[in-house]
Every structure is written in C-alpha cells, then in structure tokens.
A and B are shown apart, each in its own frame.
Chain A
Amino acid sequence: MKRFAFAALLTLAAAPSLALANDDPAGRAELASSAGRHDEAARELERALGSEGWSTPVLVDLGNAHYRAGRAGPAILAWERARVLSPRDDAASVDLERARIERDLAAPAATPLERAAAVLSVREWLAIGGVSLLAFVLATFATGFARRARAALIGTSIASGLGVVLAVAALWIGTLSVSPAVVVTDGAVVARISPFDEAEPVATLEPGEVVDLDGADRDSAGWERVRTRDGQRAWVPAGSVEPIRALGPAAGAHPAWDAAPGA
C-alpha cells in the first residue's frame, strides 16, 4: 500500500513536467532526442523555431539533432545561425569545429577585421551603436548650452561618437562588406558553369560547405551563383543552399530534410 502511494505521489509530481514536455515543442524534441529519435527531434525543434522565433539553444539542439541523424548540411547551417545570434556561445563553436574536422570541411575564411566584428552579434553592435548615438546627441546638445562641465561633456561627446563609428564599422564589415554566405544543405551539390542541368560541372560542394553568393545578378530561375572556396564562380540549384543570415522568421519544419538523410 505504501509502495502504491509512493508511486502515485511520484506520478503526480512528474505530471506537470511531462505535460509541459508534451505541450512544448522544445520539450518534445528533448524527449525524442533522448530516445534516439533524432528526425523527430529535428522536426519539433524546427516547429519551435517557427512558432517562437530564432533562439540560440534551440538552434544548437537542432544542429545536434540533424548531425546525429547524419545530416551535416542542415546541422552546420543551424550552428552557424546560432553563432550569428550568439557569437560567443561555445557550444555552437565546439560542435562546428568537430563537425568540420570529422567531415573534412574548411571553416569559412575571414579577415582579422571580420573576426573582430564577429566578436559581438548584430544586435549587440546595434545596441552599442544606438546607446552611443543617443549619448552623442545628448552630450553634444548639452555642450551647446552648458556653462559648466563643458570639458566633460565634450569628452563624452567624443567617446560616444567613437562608439557610433565603431558600431557602424562593425555592422558594415559584418553585414555589407562580406558576401552573403550560404550553406550547402542538400547533399553533395554539383556546381555548374551555367545555370542549367546539362552545363559543365565546375566543382562538387559537400554538405555543410559554406560558400558565398556571388554578384548582383546571382539568381536565375531556380539557380544561385556562388563563389567556391578556390575562387571559382559556379551555379548551384537554389534549393540546395540556404543563407546563414535569415532576414525573416524561421520557416518551420523543412520537409526536404525528412527525405534526404545524409545531406
């Protein structure tokens, strides 16, 4: 009797968390992942992104689920996106490093300035720039009217102005000076010299490889022009690559991934 009562008590105690896990896509994904159902976990995490928005832990878990399911391309895409949100999150960096070593993939090349700009996320640079801009405006106005402490106000104005310039430079380097990077998500992709199926192959892009979109007229009827790691320009099917920096909300579950294990 005592045992029954204890079991009932345990069930009652666990009920809220189980109910929460069943209602919450991330919770369901965790349950599926712990049971080894990584495809299901990936779908749940995609739904979580679609319903709640982009989130670093969800993206890292999504990358882990894809990687455990054997899909290096979507996994690297998710981890790269996690690093866009949180550049200093070690989990995404460690997982990316490991996946690239295991898959013999090179990390995207970056100049020292680009690496410096990537220390903070776009949001953090925007916050620094916004606060600095506000401080600059206030300090400059105050300097125009104040009769005391003008030196301090001028110093504040200069410092905040430098903060604005720094943030603008970082945002410029991090978003405008580099070409939009895309990740190969759809298996090994044959890059061709022209945007049609019969064109001569130029290179084979491995799943998870990061390449840059190339030029202004880089899309043509379902094809994207990219620049490979060795500098060659080539066309790949548009659906085979996805941009790391997604402007819009998460799209939800990706049906193609269900049908493309090993991508």
Chain B
Amino acid sequence: MTTKTMKHFSLSALAALVGLATTSVPSTVLARTDVDARLSTDELRVGEAAHLVVTVTGDEAQQPRVPSVPGVVIEPLGRSESVVITNGRLSSSVDHVFAVVPQRAGDFTIPPIAIGDARTAPLRAHASPGGARASSPARAQPNAPQGVAPRGGGRRAFARIHVDADQAIVGEAVPVRIKAYFRPDTSAQIGAPKLEDDAFLVDGLSAPVQREETVRGEPYGTMTWTGTITPLLEGEHDLPLEIPVELQWRELEPAPASSDVLARFFGGDPFGSDPLGGGSLFDALGSMMGPSWGPPRSASVTLEHADRITVVPPPSEGRPEGFTGAVGTFSLAAEVDTREVAVGEPVTLTVHVRGEGNFDRVELSMVEDGATARAYAPQSELHPDHEGSRSATKTFRQSVVPTAAGELELAPITLSYFDPDRREYVTLATDAQHISVRPGSHGALVAGDLSEVAPSDGLARSSSRDEVPVATLLPMVPSPLTILGFPALVMLLALTAPPIARRTWRAWSARHAERTTARQVREHLARAERAARQGDARATYLACRAALQHRLSRALGMADVAITLADVEARLDPVPAPLRAAFERADAADYAELPDGDTDLVLFTERVRALLRDLETR
C-alpha cells in the first residue's frame, strides 16, 4: 500500500462516478427507457444463490422493484452503471444485481419487473433440493490460475496474464496483457501487478481499464493493464504474475441456523424430536424465518497466474560493431539548433530515434571531444506515443561548444539494431552536421581560440583587467521615482522654461531700454535748458532735437540719430508744433545761420519738455 498504487474497485463507487457523469448530460440526448432481466441460471438448488441482473437503459435513476415470489428470497446486492457513446449518441444503462435464493424445491416464476411503461418478461427457474452450506472463501493457492471461491461455485476473483508471442528475441519488446476479474458483489482493493523475474524487464504498464465481462455465465468486473516486457535471458521462461488484493463481501446465511439460536435462548428444545421423524418445532420455526445476510467478510489474497515464452538470442552472424542490444524497428534523424555560432557559444545537437522496440537498449555514440570543439555528456528523454504504447521517440541532446573559428563538422550518428520482422540487423546513420564558427566577439576571444583565455580546465578569464572597481552593482535606487520621475521632471522644466525666460528677458530688456531712453532724454533736456539760459540757440535746438530723437527712436523703431522730420511727418499726423519747430530749427542750426532773438529759448525748452512728457505717456 505504501509504494504501490492501490485501486479501489467498487461497483458502488463506480456507479456513483458514472452516475455523476451521466447527470451532467442533457436528458434530451438519452435514449428511451428500457428494462431487461436475466437469471444467471435456471437450474438452482435450495439454499444456494443465483444472480438476477435487471438492466435499466435510458432512465437509469429508477430503482426496479422485484415482485415477491413465494418460497424464494430475493435480496439486492448492488448496482453498476455503464455509459456508451455511439456516433455521438449517448446511452446509459444500470445493472441491478439481486441474489435469488430458493427456500423450497420446485418450479418458480419471477413475474415481470416494470420500469414505467417498460417491463421484462417473466423468468422461470427450477430449484432442486439439497443445497450446500455456505463456506468461507478459500485463500488463494499457489496453483495458477488462482482465485477466491464464492458460495455457489465460480470464483470471487482471479487473474490472467497473456503474452502476445510464444517466442521472442532477447531485447525484443513483447506486448503483454494482464487482467484481473472480480465478482460484482465483491469490493476489492487492488495492488499493482508484479511481474518480477530477472529474465524480463517490464516497461510501461498502462493505467488499468475497467470493464464488465461474463465468464461462463457469471458477470465479472475486470481491470486490464497493458504494457511490454523485454526478455533479458534466452531460454524457456515462465512469466509469473502476482496481484495483491484485499476482498470484501457478504454472503446469505442459510435459515436452519435459527433453530440453534432458539434452542440456546430456551436452554434446549422443550418439544424434543418428532417421533414421526418430522423434526422439532424449533426447526419448523427456523425454516420459516428464511436466509439472512451474514457479517462482512474480507480476505487478503494474491492472485497468481503465469504464461510461458521462449526467448532466443539475436543472431551473432552479421552483428554490427555498434550494436547495443536494440531490437525493434527504428528511424533516425538529427538536427542542430543553429548553423552559425561564435567561438564559445554552444550548439545543441538533437537526435531523434523513433519507432517500436526496447528503447532502454537504444544508445547512441554522440560527438566526442575534439581539437576544435568541446562536447558535453548527452542527455536522453523517452516520449511514448501514448501511455503503455510500444511506439515512442527517444531524443538525445548534446551541447557542443566550438573552441576554434572555422568550419566545424559534427560526424554522422549511427544506430544499429536487430529488426525482428526482417530477421536481420539494420544500421542507420544521420548526415554530418556542418557549422560555421566565427571568432569570438569580445576581448581575448577575438583571437578566435577559446584556449587563449581558458586555462586547462576550460574556465575563461575576463579580459577587462584594467576596469575600475565600483561600490555597488546597482548605482541607483531602483524605484519609479528615480527612473521615471527625475528625467520626466527635468524634461518638463526644459520644455516650460524657455517661454517664461524669453518673456522675462523681453520685459527686462524693455525696462532697461526705457530707463536708458529716459536717462538720455533727461541729459539732452538738461543740456538744452543750460543752453537756453545761456542764450545759445543752436545748442538749445540741437539738444532738444536729440532728446526728441531718443524719445521717438523706440516708438518709430529707428536709430535715434537717423530720425528726420520727414520720418516724423510720415508716422505722426499731425506733427506737434514744438516737435516740428525743434527739428526745423535744429536742421537750420546744422545747415544755416539762425536768426538771433526770434524765440524765447527757455520757453521753447519748456514746450519741448511738455511735448516729451506727452510722448512718453503715449
């Protein structure tokens, strides 16, 4: 139980599972209800049980009620269900099993059993007198085939092993089928089948398949395992099978035992024996109580069986040198994961062996270490096509690391095996694999030879010997703030700052220009006032014009010295009189003599000052 998988074979559990499965199926796809009944035998003996099986198809939820039959005890034993899907149509059926025990000799008839509108035919049987008493189940004996005998004949459980061939070659995989049989009224815990024999290797026993079968008119639940065996030694061999099982069942106890109970209760039979030979009163009372179910019985048994096979060796004649004992039919294919690598980069060589046979003996001589490549130990995996299948694919993978630049050729891989169908040896070979190896991409590997950087044990050394050590392997705090937040903040600043700065610069420049203009205007005006007080008309007019030119230069967008009366007239309409006079008189002062004393210079300067204030406010 600890190391082997124990399968609990219980019809009631199976019924529950299948019942659960069938309840999930829409009722519309179920077939109509049908009912059928059959008796395991129509010749019975008084006190012995026969099996009545009532099969309900369609509406399996209904429990059949078996009408009572005088002189016959009918007790339910259990039920089993099965589901069949044919061409997409689902049908289910339930077998209700009853024990039928006649209590007296003679013919009896089980009336029709009805489920809805469906009903069975009446069943007729005959009971002979003198049934045997129930006996305890016998423990399995070592003779094959073995089983446990239930009351009423037959066997409660037994096993069979069947090897598909009478003769096999050493190493040849031979299909084998193992089957265990159990009566429907028996629960069993089943251990894994044992096929322990040094002459055979057992491989890939499938999970058991449960079915129901009839053997010599008796219903049985069966469990079937399939797999392969590989003979290892030549000669005649018995293939012994052992299946450990724990059985549980109940049996009908015969009625006469009840008279003993009454006698024990009353301390003896006060009526004594019938002098006419008809038996005592207690015997009569006991026979009226009928049979009853006894206590649960159990037994741990080992089901045994054996089959015989003759094993012959593969012929020595024509045996190839690389033959490792593989027997079967195989094919061979090889591939590499890349055709171009750099020195030091691994290439994976994959070889697939596919077919049927003893894959445990399929071994390949893969690539070996060489001057231009280092080959590592290959690894293999076996992938059966399906569980318990003889056909499979065995895949060999090997890593090969080129150690020198150039063309690397991986030699063909060969497989020799014996084909039992053709009765001859076969040798297969793959194509050679060609790989272009370029020099390494960095540091000393540029030299093209790994051995230059690899000591004798093949471990490489770093070429960046002058690297400056660092304090941490992660020179930043790996958080969203540092990785995303900081650059985003800086970029946002960079995008928003220029317009603000440009606006600020322009405002500052404007203020600075205004202050400069105001200062120059004040200076020229002060000079004009001094000249006016001194009576210097020319200097007064020139200073007044200069002050006006400075004031107008920003408004007209021109250099101050370049502004003429014509420019002013073109932009200002009308031209203020002091402005015109200042330009005309200053121009006259530049190019001609000014008339003396025609103007009050101080008053003129005051008008220009007022004009400048007016222009400033504009």
Binding site for B on A (CB under 8 A): 49, 52-61, 64, 67-68, 81-82, 84-86, 88-95, 97-98, 101-102, 104, 122-123, 126, 129, 133, 136-137, 140-141, 143-145, 161, 164, 167-168, 171-172, 175-176, 244-249
Closest 10 CB pairs of A and B: A144-B498, A53-B469, A91-B460, A175-B478, A57-B462, A60-B462, A55-B469, A140-B494, A137-B494, A64-B459
Chain A residues near B273 (CB-CB < 8 A): none
Contact B475 A122 (CB under 8 A): yes
Q: How far is the CB of A62 from the nearest CB of chain B, in Å?
A: 11
The contact of B463 among A91, A140, A245, by CB within 8 Å, is: A91
The contact of A136 among B401, B479, B491, B497, by CB within 8 Å, is: B491
Contact A94 B460 (CB under 8 A): yes
Contact A175 B445 (CB under 8 A): no
Chain B residues near A140 (CB-CB < 8 A): 494-495, 497-498
Q: How many residue pairs at the A-B interface have CB separations less than 8 Å?
A: 159
Q: How far is the CB of A231 from the nearest CB of chain B, in Å?
A: 21
Query: When chains A and B are docked, how far (Å) is the Cα of A239 from the Cα of B494?
Result: 47
Query: When chains A and B are docked, how far (Å) is the Cα of A176 from the Cα of B477?
Result: 10
Contacts A101-B346, A141-B497 given; indicate if A172 touches B474 (C-beta within 8 A): no
B147 interface residue per 8 A CB criterion: no
Contact A90 B441 (CB under 8 A): yes
Contact A54 B462 (CB under 8 A): no
Interface of chain B residues 261 through 281 with chain A (CB within 8 A):
none
Chain A residues near B483 (CB-CB < 8 A): 168, 171-172, 175-176
Chain A residues near B472 (CB-CB < 8 A): 54, 246-249
User: Given known contacts A94-B450, A144-B497, what 12 new A-B pairs fall within 8 Å (CB)?
Assistant: A53-B471, A56-B464, A59-B462, A89-B462, A92-B462, A94-B445, A97-B344, A133-B487, A133-B490, A144-B501, A164-B491, A167-B487
The contact of A164 among B487, B499, B505, by CB within 8 Å, is: B487
The contact of A172 among B462, B484, B495, by CB within 8 Å, is: B484
Query: When chains A and B are docked, how far (Å) is the Cα of A92 from the Cα of B464?
Result: 11
Query: When chains A and B are docked, how far (Å) is the Cα of A49 from the Cα of B460?
Result: 19
Chain B residues near A61 (CB-CB < 8 A): 461-462
Contact A90 B476 (CB under 8 A): no
The contact of A122 among B399, B474, B502, by CB within 8 Å, is: B474
Instruction: Name the residue on A nearest B440 (C-beta).
Output: A90
Instruction: Name the residue on A nearest B501 (C-beta).
Output: A144
Q: How far is the CB of B478 from the nearest CB of chain A, in Å?
A: 4
Contact B462 A123 (CB under 8 A): no
Contact B401 A141 (CB under 8 A): no
Contact A53 B459 (CB under 8 A): no
Query: When chains A and B are docked, how far (Å) is the Cα of A145 from the Cα of B504?
Result: 12
20 contacts between A and B (CB under 8 A): A54-B473, A57-B461, A57-B462, A57-B464, A59-B462, A68-B459, A81-B473, A85-B470, A90-B344, A90-B445, A91-B461, A97-B344, A97-B401, A140-B497, A144-B502, A164-B487, A168-B484, A171-B483, A176-B483, A245-B474
Query: When chains A and B are docked, how far (Å) is the Cα of A145 from the Cα of B491?
Result: 17
The contact of B491 among A81, A123, A133, by CB within 8 Å, is: A133
Contact B487 A57 (CB under 8 A): no
Among A67, A90, A126, max chain B CB count under 10 A is at: A90
Instruction: Name the residue on B nearest A58 (C-beta).
Output: B469
